[in-house]
Amino acid sequence: MNYQHIETKFEDGLGTITLNRPPVNILNIAMMEEIIRALKAWQESRELKVVLFDAKGKCFSAGVDVGEHMGDLAPKMIQVFHGIFRQMDKLDVPTAASVYGSCLGGGCELAVFCDLVIASDTAKFGQPEIQVGVFPPIAAQIMPRIIGRKAAMELILSGKIISAKEAYQIGLINKVVPQEGLDSATYEFVRPYLGLSAEVLRKTKKAINAGLRDELEPSLKIIEDIYLGELMKTHDANEGLNAFLEKRKPQWKNE
User: pTM (2 decimals)?
Assistant: 0.90
Q: What's residue 56's pLDDT?
A: 98
**Domain parsing of the chain, residue ranges:** 1-181+195-255
109 is an active site residue: yes
User: Phi and psi (nearest 5°) for 220?
Assistant: -65, -35
The whole-angstrom separation of Cα 88 and Cα 51 is: 9
Task: Please pick, among 44, 129, 224, 255, the residue that the annotation labels catalytic.
Answer: 129
129 is an active site residue: yes
Tens-digit pLDDT string for the chain (255 aa): 789 999 999 999 999 999 999 999 999 999 999 999 999 999 999 999 999 999 999 999 999 998 887 778 889 999 999 999 999 999 999 999 999 999 999 999 999 999 999 999 999 999 999 999 999 999 999 999 999 999 999 999 999 999 999 999 999 999 999 999 999 999 999 999 999 999 999 999 988 887 777 677 888 888 899 889 989 889 999 899 999 999 999 999 989
Output the CATH code of domain 1-181+195-255. 3.90.226.10
Q: What are the Cα distances from residue 91, in Å, to 35, 68, 209? A: 13, 27, 13
Task: Please pick, among 33, 34, 109, 166, the residue that the annotation labels catalytic.
Answer: 109
Q: What are the Cα distances from residue 85, in Å, to 33, 115, 141, 194? A: 12, 12, 11, 22
